[in-house]
Amino acid sequence: MGDFAPPFRYNGTPYLPDIVQTPPMTPATLKLEHTGEFIMHRGGRLPGLQLAFETWGELDSSASNAVLLFTGLSPGAHAASSELDPKPGWWEPVIGPGKAVDTRRFFVVCINSLGSCKGSTGPASINAATGRPWRLDFPELSIEDIAAAAQLVLDALGISRLKALIGPSMGGMTALAYLHRFPDRVDHLLSISSAPAAEPFSIAIRSLQREAIVTDPNFNHGQYDDEHWPWNGMRLARKLGMISYRSAGEWRERFGRDHQQRYEPTAFGMNFQIESYLEAAAEKFIGQFDPTCYIYLSRAMDWFDLCHGCPGFYQAMSGVKLKTACVIGVDSDILFPLHQQREIAEGLERLGACPQFHALPSTQGHDAFLVDYDRFTPVIADYFLSID
Amino acid sequence: MGDFAPPFRYNGTPYLPDIVQTPPMTPATLKLEHTGEFIMHRGGRLPGLQLAFETWGELDSSASNAVLLFTGLSPGAHAASSELDPKPGWWEPVIGPGKAVDTRRFFVVCINSLGSCKGSTGPASINAATGRPWRLDFPELSIEDIAAAAQLVLDALGISRLKALIGPSMGGMTALAYLHRFPDRVDHLLSISSAPAAEPFSIAIRSLQREAIVTDPNFNHGQYDDEHWPWNGMRLARKLGMISYRSAGEWRERFGRDHQQRYEPTAFGMNFQIESYLEAAAEKFIGQFDPTCYIYLSRAMDWFDLCHGCPGFYQAMSGVKLKTACVIGVDSDILFPLHQQREIAEGLERLGACPQFHALPSTQGHDAFLVDYDRFTPVIADYFLSID
């Protein structure tokens, strides 16, 4: 494509794609092997499944201090460092000894979502029946399946009741699905930038991301390999993701109209810092996440509707017995907007969960919980100090 | 691509792509042929150019009632119907006898932008030196060139001074560029959902649209033809455009989570009405606009910075002698956000143009000026009634 198309060339160092499909197993990674059939929410069946997870802290003798953390679309189970894996986790500033979620006090569990590609069973896993990756033969995945699969881990750990459930972004949807399925097993809920149902603007973004991936000729009905990887579809999808994860205000302050020097400019792009920022974010991601897992998880979010068939949140969640809840949203979030956080808080209020509601004035949009720790950590710390 | 990729199949009627590359000339279309060399803002040269335009109303004997309308990225010169072309124009409710811009009073001129593909010279035009379309050999295009070319039409019409200049969206950028170049030729300015410079969020959207187009294998360095047209890149670009043109609130009210029936559902899309809405919008556009013209105009918007090299709007526009101005923005516009309209209004205030400023509470985002006529038309009508 000459000088106007990706892959964009670095000024200096050559561009080296870095495919990491191997699950990033470390000594900290625990594995649950479930050999029984797993029946999916939409009717599909898995002959068995594996879930990768990590834990921090010690489960107390009555198994009453467990905190389950569901993740957003792309993170794995490595939420925080530990002696077994000192690499910083994706929520390093929040989880650990003396941190907001204090692992001296709580036994924290983070599970790589069913359907993902970071150690848990998903479309990138080998289908034992064929000896090849499942890819598009993987059964339809729902947020409800991620929640149900997590229960297998808790059962294996002997945890019948959660002290707290934490769900940011897609993980917040999963937390709501978990509460719907297991209404009396959670004491406290921390919901962050989540949604009781996907709204059309978010569906539009995600649908377009999936379209970019499946129409990449290299996607080839899911028959891609390392040599023919849907780089371009994944690159476009990730850049669109970044556009939805951050905010115009942040970028105005941070980049303005400054020019970039990291890549060689192309005829129709790579002039501005915002463009090199998006490219760098895409490069970091596109080889690290399986395209089929991506479109399965993305579609699961679009399908999610807690209130499906119910008049509303309250009715869908009737029976949920939370002692308290904390709902955090960000005013610049365009993907999981603030009014959806209010909807969750109001529903929880009607359920008697006395939720705290925090509308944080961060410019960092949906991603704020991963970057704006100055605003998030104190709120999370206060909430966890407040729970008995 | 089987059942999970475009082209999406209608339920019932088959999908029939409809390429219309021929400029939509009608008896209403006027043509200016400029045979001299045209030197572009960024240094390129055109050996000559043609501009398609339409007019409504009568130029008075002193040529003092002319109104020039610059367009957004995609419209042609056919802004309104006339006896010569009764087909409704793209701003039909605004322009005409007795309408907000009253053609019994004003002589209205609308020009298809230089660089576009609706009758004016652009990358889709034939390069006389080769006998083939210019495509990527077309010189670099700037908003400033569109403004300068328009002056050729005014000169030909014998209009040395404009009663009013109207610019919505990209046309608003062009209007500012025109004022910068010809500071004392305009009495009144109507600026709608415009920007004195592209901001990084909008650059991100447009850069990604261009990337989707140039990475479509059918784009092929600009060597596409009707059989190998970059449908997919244009489809992705147009859908992303729609995401940036409307608003989440409008879609929440209008579509919610309703399912669609217009197309056969695919494995990873076409479940929801929002998806069929985007597809229908894309289908309407992708064969009607030349991909190379699209990326040239899109890039010109990113490059536009009225204040480039100046401390600010006021300094860049010093010398501009407007009698009045009216600046309209929409609170749900994410592409040309309200704070940029304020910036324009404040700059005009300092210039002594006593601008009116209207922040319209429309849910229809950047596109509101094309669809929310209930809000727009009265404001425009009042403004034009107020000018002498």
Could you report the per-residue pLDDT of A222-236, keeping only the tens digit for each? Answer: 999 999 999 999 999
| pLDDT for residue A12 | 65
| Distance of alpha carbon A56 from alpha carbon A102, whole angstroms | 9
User: If you measure CA to CA, which chain B residue comes closest to A237?
Assistant: B208
| Distance of alpha carbon A356 from alpha carbon A379, whole angstroms | 10
Is the minimum CB–CB distance between A334 and chain B shorter than 8 Å? yes
* Cβ proximity of B235 and A287 under 8 Å: no
Phi (first) and psi of residue A330, to 5 degrees: -130, 130
HSE-up (13 A, CA, CB side) for residue B230: 28
Is the minimum CB–CB distance between B223 and chain A shorter than 8 Å? no
- Whole domain around residue B172: which residue ranges? 30-198+307-386
Residues A223 and A116 in one domain: no
Residues A313 and A240 in one domain: no
* Cβ proximity of A64 and A161 under 8 Å: yes
Helix A231-245, helix A273-286: angle, nearest 10: 120
Closest CA to B366 of B69, B74, B145: B74
Phi (first) and psi of residue A371, to 5 degrees: -135, -35
Is the minimum CB–CB distance between B228 and chain A shorter than 8 Å? no
Q: Can you say how many angstroms the Cα of residue A109 is from the centroid of all Cα atoms in its chain?
A: 15
Instruction: Measure in Å the smallest separation between the Cα of A257 and chain B Cα atoms.
Output: 6
* Cβ proximity of B315 and B45 under 8 Å: no
Question: Which tokens is A318 given?
Answer: 């009737």
- pLDDT digit string (tens) for A68-98? 999 999 999 999 999 999 999 999 999 999 9
Instruction: Measure in Å the smallest separation between the Cα of A73 and chain B Cα atoms.
Output: 16
Residues A64 and A183 in one domain: yes
| Distance of alpha carbon B43 from alpha carbon B48, whole angstroms | 15
CA-based angle B118:B120:B125, to the nearest 5? Answer: 90
The CATH code of the domain that includes B76 is 3.40.50.1820
Count, in order, helices (H) and strands (E) of chain B. 11, 14
What is the band of A17 on the pLDDT scale with cuts at 50, 70, 90?
A: very low
| pLDDT for residue A23 | 57
Strand extents, DSSP E, B278-341: 324-330
| Distance of alpha carbon B48 from alpha carbon B37, whole angstroms | 5
* Cβ proximity of A380 and A190 under 8 Å: yes
Strands A45-46 and A38-39: antiparallel
Residues B330 and B368 in one domain: yes
Active site residue B308: no
Give the H/E segment covering residue B286: helix B273-286
| pLDDT (average), residues A248-261 | 97
Model confidence at A18: pLDDT above 60: no
What is the interface size between A and B, counted as CB pairs within 8 Å? 163
| pLDDT for residue A13 | 55
**What pairs with residue B95 in β-bridges?**
B101
* Cβ proximity of B142 and B299 under 8 Å: no
The reply to whether residue A268 touches residue B200, judged by beta carbons under 8 angstroms, is no
Model confidence at A309: pLDDT above 90: no
Compare CB distances from A204 to B208, B278, B334 and report the shortest one's residue: B278
The reply to whether residue B200 touches residue A239, judged by beta carbons under 8 angstroms, is no
The reply to whether residue A2 touches residue B221, judged by beta carbons under 8 angstroms, is yes
Stated length of chain B: 388
Compare CB distances from A200 to B214, B217, B252 and report the shortest one's residue: B252
Q: Which among B333, B362, B367, B372 is annotated as catalytic?
A: B333
C-alpha distances in Å from residue A326, one per residue of A68, A329, B284: 15, 10, 46
**What pairs with residue B111 in β-bridges?**
B53
Residues B290 and B333 in one domain: no
Model confidence at A22: pLDDT above 80: no
Of A234, A265, A298, the residue at which a domain comes to its end is A298
Residues B272 and B164 in one domain: no
- Identify all chain B residues contacting A254, using CB atoms and an 8 Å cutoff: 200
| pLDDT for residue A311 | 84
* Cβ proximity of B205 and A243 under 8 Å: yes
The CATH code of the domain that includes B258 is 1.10.1740.110
- B381 three-class SS: helix
Model confidence at A5: pLDDT above 90: no
What is the band of A9 on the pLDDT scale with cuts at 50, 70, 90?
A: confident
- Give every residue of chain B whose pLDDT is below 70, as ranges: 1-4, 12-24
Phi (first) and psi of residue A381, to 5 degrees: -60, -45
What is the band of A11 on the pLDDT scale with cuts at 50, 70, 90?
A: confident
Mark which residues 229-258 of B lie under 8 Å from A by CB: 232, 235-236, 239-240, 242-243, 247-248, 251-252, 254-257
| pLDDT for residue A95 | 98
User: Long-range pairs for B221-229 at CB < 8 Å and ≥24 separation?
Assistant: B221/A1, B221/A2, B221/A4, B221/B136, B222/B123, B222/B135, B222/B136, B222/B292, B223/B135, B224/B291, B226/B19, B226/B21, B229/B17, B229/B19, B229/B287, B229/B291
Share above pLDDT 70 across residues of chain A, in percent, rounded to a whole number: 96
Q: What is the DSSP letter of A197?
A: B
Question: Which tokens is A103 given?
Answer: 């692992």
User: If you measure CA to CA, which chain B residue comes closest to A297?
Assistant: B268
Residues B74 and B174 in one domain: yes
| Distance of alpha carbon A134 from alpha carbon A115, whole angstroms | 11
Residues A83 and A63 in one domain: yes
| Distance of alpha carbon A114 from alpha carbon A109, whole angstroms | 15
Determine the residue type at B319.
Answer: G
| pLDDT for residue B19 | 47
- Identify all chain A residues contacting B254, using CB atoms and an 8 Å cutoff: 200
Residues B70 and B7 in one domain: no
Residues A241 and A357 in one domain: no
| Distance of alpha carbon A162 from alpha carbon A189, whole angstroms | 10
Of A264, A298, A332, the residue at which a domain comes to its end is A298
End-to-end CA distance of chain A: 61
Residues A194 and A213 in one domain: no
Within 10 A of B375 (CB to CB), how many other CB atoms are there?
17
Residues B187 and B331 in one domain: yes
Of B235, B269, B298, the residue at which a domain comes to its end is B298
| Distance of alpha carbon A46 from alpha carbon B136, whole angstroms | 51
Number of domains in chain B: 2
Q: What is the DSSP letter of A9?
A: P
- A295 three-class SS: helix
C-alpha distances in Å from residue A6, one per residue of A139, B194, B215: 33, 30, 7
Beta carbons within 8 Å of B353's beta carbon, 6+ residues apart: B189, B320, B322, B323, B324, B325
Place of tokens 């040529």: B63
| Distance of alpha carbon B34 from alpha carbon B38, whole angstroms | 8
